[in-house]
Structure 1
Amino acid sequence: MKSPCLLPALLALLKFATGYGLASRAYELHRDEYLYLEYGRHLAWGYLEVPPLTALQSWVTLALGGSWFWVKFWPLLWGSLTIYLVGRAVQRLGGGPWAVALAGLGYLLGAYARLNFLFQPNAFEVLAFTAVGYWLICYVQQPAPRWLYAMGAVLGLALLNKYSALFYIGALLAALLLTPLRRVLATRHFWLAAGLALLLWLPNLTWQIGHGLPVLHHMALLRESQLVHVSVAGFWQSQLLMNALSLWVWVPGLLALLLSRRLQPYRVLGLVYVGGLLLLTLLHGKDYYALGYYPLLMAAGAAWWQQWLRSRPRLGRVLRPALLVLPLALSLRMLPLLFPIEPPAGMLAHRARYERVGALRWEDGQNHPLPQDYADMQGWRELADKTWAAYAALPPEARGHTLILADNYGQAGAINYYNRHRRNLPPANSFNGSYLFWQPPAPPGGWQYVLLVEEDPTPGLEKHFQTLQKVGQVRNPYAREQNTRIRLGTHPDAAILAYAAEEHRRELAAWGQF
């Protein structure tokens, strides 16, 4: 008899291979990836944006050379493990090879294609939520303490990965209370597993408290700049679009978990989805925050379809191949939105169609030529090269006396990433996010040259420098950073240096650092 792990393992391998093989090299790393890679140079128990688990991956990536392959290795690994667990969950719920393939296609052709390509905390979060759900299935079938400890360990790591895991934990506890599984809450092993999760999270929790809970300021910034544009209707429209090619799988899966007698022992999984999505709706969470709740719905839906078609063999002969072919056929038109397979010029040829489905709407609520994630993968190498060229043109006495100050973490991170080898460029800095912790001390004699990387050049700075001139500009027409300017200021006066120091203090204070 063939191992039941074989088909899920093949799906995992397919996920990993297609992630590398299909990606267009017209795209660079994503804005956020440059920030997360910078964490690897500054290991700590916390950062202003996210907890430290991503930093450990960054440190390993940089130790291995920091190439594109290793940056993408982590999200593709987490995605491959997720699809493996989906396949195993299908089997535990009574599905055979056809059902495993159906659920696997749902995952491969959903929003996870892009999510598992970007080096961000989201890929591990989806894996963690899926693993907890899978081990819940295992616990229902075999109430052994090891499943509880596995859940405690992965939830502890999830809290070290993203704070949104707290919403999932809240939904999970509510779901347990509403099902017969509430009896597990009275066991010693449950509380020991909960203690394990807390123990793993404790160093970061201590860091947060010691730094004035900067997560609260981060949430406030998100509400003001991004979440304010998230409407209830838009959030739920996105839920349908993100997994549109598996709609006929995860919706029956949700209904079966909530209503089916056969899947009644696993109702907790359906209630976790309901509770988690309710929380995200009320808190105006971003649409992709919910992606971790869907993989096990796909597993349940695929198992339900197989059981339902088993008693309808004539119908099954038609629907079984149709349910596999239909998402593949529909994905041919949607694949460029799911994954950066087509270069920007090709994307623009279909702009009207993409705009109709809301794929070109950015966090500012407006439509743009490319999806936001795609525009965030353009123009960075050009910026880094032009910054290096400006620095290399300075006189020898500028070495050690030049400050590179960027408007945002993407600019600073990209400059540092592309100039990390064979270029003796001082680190770029910013007053944006965790870069506030990494400001270099002024050298003896102070800063004599300043390279300013600006989205919108600040007027009136000329009077504070002996000279101030533009020495570079991002020209890439597809980049979100298009028209970002590089200006060189020589011999800054005391007033502008004092203003910069005060701006640094103000930004730190806003994050609760004073």
Structure 2
Amino acid sequence: MHTRGNAHPQQQPFAAGPVLGIALATAAVLLAFSGRYGFHRDELYFLLAGRHLAWGYPDQPPLTPLLARLGAELFGASPSGLRVLPALLAAVAVALVALIARELGAGRGGQLVAAAAAACSGHLLGNGHLLSTATFDLTAWLAIILLTLRLLRTGEARWWPLLGLAVGVAALNKLLVFSLLPALLLGVLTAGPRGLLLPRPRELLGPLVAVLAACPFAVPVLWWQAAHGWPELTVAHGISAQQGVGGRLLLLPMQLLQLSPVLAPLWLTGIGRLWRRAELRWARPLVVAWAALCLLVLVGGGKGYYPIPLLFALLAAGCEPFAHWLREHRAKLAAGLLAALLTSALAALPVLPASALAVPMAVDPDLGEEVGWPELTAATAAGWARIPVEQRAQAVLLTANYGEAGALAHYGPAYGLPAPYSGHMGLYAWGPPPAGATGPVLLVHPIGYPWLERYFTDCRQVAQVDNGHGTANMEQHAVIALCAGPAEPWPALWPQLRRY
């Protein structure tokens, strides 16, 4: 199929060597900082979920736990080992931003500016530092955007199967990709080229092949969600409620901060360039798609970073004019990118000592969640030691959330701790404890979070967590409470402990 009535600019050669050099340098920086603190709570959960592989979990499809298991087996079950794959995905994302810039008419200089800007972005560095669903999402969405642009620019049917395949693989990681697709569709409907959506009957094979290419990956995930009552929607509603009105109003400021304020001129230039230049009319759906996804997050709730992959595409669109400017102002552009890199690194990477995280945690609280898990395990082991040896066969170790459970599953065996239980997210399906485990019960929960204790009898605090750095994360001063036993038998109690 060929898009009708549009003349498209010739593509410039891909600046493969320099772009790949920037991508590999990005991966090297990420790997250099990968072991500075420790595991993030989500990484510990993914390691644990990787031992219980399934087509889905309440909060996500199976790809990230699978990558956690693969990374641990290939490179070691350490923070540095687990983060090799995220660093490589970040490098791919850098190259994809440069390819998007090329798709939008950028020559060698524009592609290099795009790659360098992406590598200096706090969002890319933060995602490349940790293994998370957002890590793979960024790379997958950029690939989908690139393939969509290629399809819009050329109208060639051969891009449909690859686009469908990319969407299917992205659905294996997060169903959030199904919010990107209607945003792009709305962009094509409102900004064109509409001929892509009104194919001749003989050209319907392309979209059909795209759907078929996505099905082997997306259908099992959707089937699992449907069979379990769509728990991911429940999780999404919880995120929406947690964001509240204040979180939604910060949507644009948070995108500005996470991408890097220094890079704002690039994506603002990209928006103007796509909207004003006649030869780029075919790519205007990018602008509409970004605005539509922002509006969707604003109205429906969600996290402010969801639209950022589209913002990377707009940034790529604005790089070619700066490449021309670069010839006369090389030092100024280099200084700007260096400023973006330094501020992004401070906000997204473990550059500062763990005791000095208060300021970067104001922008990215996740940095603080990499601190204190060995200390939490040691405090839990001290609490477990309070249980008489003869009672430990019937004792249960129970946590309030998946981060605590993941930490105890990873570090606990060295202390002789049993496998932990929890009603949080995917761990609920791996319980309840055996009916004969009548107590004692050792509880681990954040301070100011005592709801868990009301389901058990005679609870008293026997230890408390101190991460040793004064880092005010969720588990600092977490409570270790020893209880006589459950207030009800486990089969009756377990459904009451479920939390999303």
Interval of TM-score (by shorter of Structure 1 and Structure 2) = 0.7 to 0.9
1:347 and 1:207 mapped to 2: Cα distance?
40
The match for 1:344 among 354, 359, 363 is 354
Matched, 1:15 2:5: no
Unaligned regions of 5+ residues in structure 2, if any? 1-12
Gaps of 5+ in 1: 310-314, 362-370
Q: 2:362 aligns with which of 355, 360, 367?
A: 360
Offset at residue 380 of structure 1 (A): 1.1
- The count of residues paired between Structure 1 and Structure 2 equals 477
Indicate the residue corresponding to 2:256 in structure 1: 240
Task: Note if contact 2:251-2:294 (Cα within 8 Å) is conserved in structure 1.
Answer: no
Q: Partner of 2:276 in structure 1?
A: 259
CA spacing shift, 1:334–1:79, aligned 2, 3 Å:
closer
Note closer, same or farther for the CA distance 1:107–1:397 as it changes in structure 2 (3 Å cut): same
Q: Is residue 407 of structure 2 the alignment partner of residue 414 of structure 1?
A: yes
Report SS of the residue matched to 2:206. Answer: helix
- Deviation digits for residues 297-355 of structure 1 (CA, Å, limit 9, x no counterpart): 2221112433xx3xxxxx6543344223222135435531132211133445xx4xx6x
Contact 2:34 2:79 in 1 (8 A): no
> SS in structure 2 opposite 1:265?
helix
Aligned residue in 2 for 1:90: 101
Q: Does 1:496 align with 2:487?
A: yes
In the TM superposition, residue 382 of structure 1 has moved relative to its aligned partner by 0.4
Write out per-residue CA displacement over residues 88-112 of structure 1, whole angstroms, 9 at most, x where no aligned residue.
2323333233222211222122222
Partner of 1:99: 110
Which residue number corresponds to residue 3 of structure 2? none
Runs of 4+ that moved beyond 6 A = 459-464
Describe the shift of the 1:475–1:138 C-alpha distance in structure 2 as closer, same or farther (beyond 3 A): closer
- CA distances 1:72-99 after superposition (whole Å, capped 9, x unpaired): 1232222111111112232333323322
- Deviation (angstroms), 1:475: 4.8
Q: Which residue of 1 aligns with 2:57?
A: 47
1:222-251 Cα offsets, whole Å, 9 max, x none, are 22223454132x111112222212111111
Partner residue, 2:10: none
TM value normalised by structure 1: 0.84
476-485 vs 330-339, greater mean Cα deviation: 330-339
- Partner of 2:395 in structure 1? 402
Q: 1:330 to 1:21 in 2, by over 3 A?
A: same
Equivalent residue in structure 2 for 1:487, among 481, 489, 496: 481
Deviation at 1:405, TM superposition (A): 0.5
User: Which residue of 1 is the match for residue 226 of structure 2?
Assistant: 209
Answering whether residue 296 of structure 2 is matched by residue 279 of structure 1, we say: yes
1:469 CA displacement: 5.1
Report the AA paired with residue 418 of structure 1: Y
Alignment equivalent of 1:290, drawn from 302, 307, 310: 307
- TM-score, length of structure 2 as denominator length: 0.87
Once the 2 structures are TM-superposed, how far is the Cα of residue 148 of structure 1 from its aligned partner?
1.4
Partners in 1 of 2:179 and 2:333 — Cα distance?
33
Aligned counterpart for 1:66 among listed residues 77, 81, 85? 77
Q: Is the 8 A contact 1:114 1:340 kept in 2?
A: no
> Which residue of structure 1 aligns with residue 7 of structure 2?
none
Distance 1:461 1:436, change over 3 A: closer
When the two chains are superposed, the root-mean-square deviation of aligned CA atoms in Å is 2.8
Range with bigger deviation, 263-272 or 427-436: 263-272
Alignment-derived partner of residue 38 in structure 2: 28
1:178 alignment partner in structure 2: 190
